[in-house]
Amino acid sequence: MAELLQRSRVINLYKTLIHLGKDWPKGYEFFRKRLHAAFMKNREERDPEKIEKMIAHGEFVAKEIEALYMLKKYRTLKRRYYGDK
């Protein structure tokens, strides 16, 4: 049962990261290929503890990407309303 839960968490993480990659500066295809390669590299892993660590790392990366996008949006709005200072 725990394996199925981990599997669904991994799939959700992958979908979240794919969605976040749509605005990636180097392009969606670049991001998608790198993400796919990272997930495929670890697809044979069966140790639940290692999988949990990888999921936690992936969730951290997703939060960092979201933070970068928010910062970019903030800087754009600031530049738009206050000019380059």
Angle at 48 between CA 53 and CA 64, to 5 degrees: 20
Cβ atoms of residues 30 and 48 within 8 Å: no
> What is the rounded average pLDDT of the residues 61-79?
94
Amino acid letter, residue 41: K
- pTM for the predicted model, two decimal places: 0.86
Which tens digit of pLDDT belongs to each residue from 9-64?
Answer: 999 999 999 999 999 999 999 999 999 999 999 999 999 999 999 999 999 999 99
What pLDDT is recorded for position 77? 92
More confident residue, 82 or 63: 63
- CA pair distance 57, 77, nearest whole angstrom: 30
Which pLDDT score, from 0 to 100, does residue 14 have?
98
